[in-house]
A and B are shown apart, each in its own frame.
Chain A
Amino acid sequence: MIASDSHEVSQLNELKIDLDAISVIAHYHGNSDILMDEQMPIYGGYAGGLEETAIIDVASSINAFVMSGASWHLDGPVHIRWGSTNTRETLAVAGWASAAISNHTDFMQGNQYYPCAGPCTEMCFLELAAQAITDSASGREILSGVAAAKGVITDKTTGMEARMMGEVARSAAGVDIAEINKILDKLVGSYENNYGNAPAGKTFQECYDVKTITPTDEHVKVYEGARKKLEGFGLVFK
């Protein structure tokens, strides 16, 4: 890696750190590396409910720059029951925390993506789209993902999820915030009853031609279907 790559150090839940991480920070600063400080506050965890978790999120975000001297902070509020960053509650934590940091500091912020559904499913694209809308509208500078299938199943991530993340984020930029909230309410409502039986999706090898690194026709069709559904919820693709 070179200095202009993002060098990661992670805080621990909640508002904790270990001294190995502090040594790593000293190493990164000694090399003039871009430093990405990561922390995923847990909704329903030690902090408790919605507003409490958002308080922790803001505190962790500020701490990234006090303790780590970070170049940017990688957030990722996650739901304790579903292991997802795309639920109604975790999106609200992310949206509010980002707006609070964006309005009152010049810190750079990112967010990471953990949808419940696996690749090559409409639900996966819709879940990640909800977060891309939230992150783009609430002023985040960089979106990081996507760890489909909650990021725990081997080979269940593909480039197509990142394509959707980019298309949606660009399309949500500049849209009136009241309209953003209406779109999100309908969009999240379309999948939030399915966390417990989210579709497992397919592996990279099943939805890409591995030799040519090209998505299968089926994967492209599912992508197009999700895009149409997002248009139905009011998102205008740019």
Chain B
Amino acid sequence: MAYKRSIDAFEFYNRAKTGEKCSQDDWDLMHIPMKAMELKQKYGLDFKGEFVPTNADMTEKLFKAGFDMLLEAGIFVTDTNRIVKYTEDEIWDAIRNPMPEFQLGTGRDAVTMRKRTVGDKRGPLIQGGPTGSPVSEKVFYEVHMSYALEKEVDTIVNGVMMTVRGYPPVPKTPFEILAAKMETRLIKQATAIAGRPGMAV
């Protein structure tokens, strides 16, 4: 059935207020494991000890199982205890219309994210950084510069500053905002001093 319009944050929000009711425990302990088990059996999934698949048919079955999981289970919204469902056409709409290749960063430090394939001869981009690991305030700048100085690194992923002006960045306090601002500014400064001011974060 044709969809009225593409899914966006506003349509998702509206469905989050009207979708089927469900408790979080039921979702976590019943819906998710039972549907996943059902789909594994339906598609006869067995990875046979391979890290990367050599069997294209089995890979397609996994894709179909994942698609069905999203279609049949939906997404649970923790604030409203409701399930947001998509139609099959709405999911295909997103699959058929992804963002094409795009640029991360600016100037000579910009890199382009391009579609790769299994066994592609081109290497992937490298987003170097602490990936959410805790980093002390006194070496935050230096730690991030150690990534920006590596030519293997294309963009930066940040660590989490443990204090800001000596205070812990407790969520929902002004120190949380200050920490977020300071992290970004220090990383941008670190990439600039490393000679890569246009590097994406």
Contacts and interface: CB of A to CB of B under 8 A. Distances in A.
A95 B59 contact: no
Q: Determine which residue in B110, B135, B157 has the highest number of CB atoms from chain A within 10 A of its CB, and name it.
A: B157
Interface string B122-155: 1111111111111110010011011111101111
A163 B51 CA distance: 23
Interface in A111-162: 112-114, 134-149, 151-160, 162
Contacts of B7: 66-67
A152 B126 contact: no
B66 A141 contact: no
Contact of B63 (A15, A65, A101, A181): A101
B36 to A, nearest CB: 4
Interface residues of A, number: 112
B75 A22 contact: no
A86 B115 CA distance: 24
Interface in A36-88: 46-48, 50-59, 61-63, 65-67, 69-72, 88
A153 B134 contact: yes
B105 A4 contact: yes
Contacts of A217: none
B116 A63 contact: no
B118 A173 contact: no
A144 to B, nearest CB: 4
B186 to A, nearest CB: 13
Interface string B101-127: 011111000100111111111111111
Given A92-B51, A104-B60, A140-B124, 7 more contacts: A5-B104, A62-B95, A100-B62, A145-B131, A157-B130, A159-B128, A213-B146
6 tightest Cβ-Cβ pairs between the two chains A and B: A58-B66, A166-B152, A162-B128, A159-B146, A174-B121, A170-B123
Interface of B: 7-10, 12-13, 16, 24, 27-29, 32-33, 36-37, 39-40, 45-47, 49-54, 56, 59-60, 62-63, 65-67, 69-70, 73-80, 84, 86, 90-91, 94-95, 98-100, 102-106, 110, 113-136, 139, 142-143, 145-150, 152-155, 157, 159, 162, 184, 200-201
